[in-house]
Amino acid sequence: MSSQQPGRKRPRDFVHMDQLVDADNHWNSYFVDQSVWVYADEYRAELPGDRDYCRIIVTAGDSQGWYYERSLSERQQVLETLESLQWPLSEHQLGRLNFRRWRGESII
């Protein structure tokens, strides 16, 4: 039996984290107080052509940063990766955790 009430929609989007965090001294740019922005969310596809995902995005501005994404079925892996992040956050740490660099709208 579902805990969902009849007629109620489940949210398709859920944000796990949306905040500035301390960063180490090796980033090319920073936000205020030597911080970078970490955004983690998930999306449950319900519309034709959409796809599920769970992801973590890290940026220090300048339309570039680091990206980690898996299908929603691998949500637990993404949440464990998010929990494993240590402050101050470093690009080296993100590389070890298999994040990919992005610039503009391209994964590089």
- pLDDT value for 93: 98
Q: Is the pLDDT of residue 3 over 70?
A: no
- pLDDT value for 5: 45
**Mean pLDDT within 73-80:** 97
- The CB-based long-range contact list for 13-19 (8 Å cut-off, 24+ gap) reads 13/41, 13/42, 13/43, 13/44, 14/41, 14/42, 15/39, 15/40, 15/41, 16/40, 16/41, 16/42, 16/79, 16/82, 17/56, 17/82
Residue 65 lies in a domain: yes
- pLDDT value for 105: 78
Residue 17 lies in a domain: yes
Residue 1 lies in a domain: no
Residue 55 lies in a domain: yes
Q: Is the pLDDT of residue 74 over 90?
A: yes
The total domain count for the chain is 1
Range of the domain at 45: 13-103
Residues 8-67 have pLDDT tens digits of: 555 678 999 999 999 999 998 999 999 999 999 999 988 888 899 999 999 998 888 999
